[in-house]
Amino acid sequence: MTAPSAGGNVLAAFDTILAAVVPELAGRVTAVTFDAETGRLDVAPGLPGAATQLRWSAPKLIAAAKEKVPAANVLAPAPVKVAAPATAAAEPSPL
């Protein structure tokens, strides 16, 4: 039996870390992947407002992740991408 990788621990602990640091985002942000080589944690916020708050909270989240899973070496957040609603191209107005 082998110990789980640090990346797996970060992903498993993300909800707990998020709830402790930014409780208002609990359930609104999902950890997607963690690259142990680069220290990059990819997350998916559900709404644009959650993405903004996540960016503001990134330093606190990184510090909490390093404390909770020291072997993970979380260094920086990945760029946050939120799916924007589709918009129709404007039709030229009749003259």
Residue 49 lies in a domain: yes
pTM score of the predicted model? 0.68
Domain-embedded: residue 13: yes
Domain that includes residue 58, residue range = 6-77
C-alpha angle with apex 29: 25 to 34, nearest 5 degrees? 130
Residue 59 lies in a domain: yes
pLDDT tens digits, 12-67: 899 999 999 999 999 999 998 888 888 888 888 888 889 889 889 988 988 898 88
What residue has token string 């640091």?
21
Within-domain flag for 33:
yes
With respect to residue 71, please indicate whether it lies within any of the assigned structural domains: yes
In a domain, 12, yes or no: yes
Residue 52 lies in a domain: yes
Burial label for 85, CB within 10 Å (0-12, 13-18, 19+), is exposed
Structurally, the chain folds into a number of domains equal to 1
Per-residue pLDDT of 2-17, as tens digits, reads 334 555 688 889 999 9
Domain assignment present for residue 28? The answer is yes
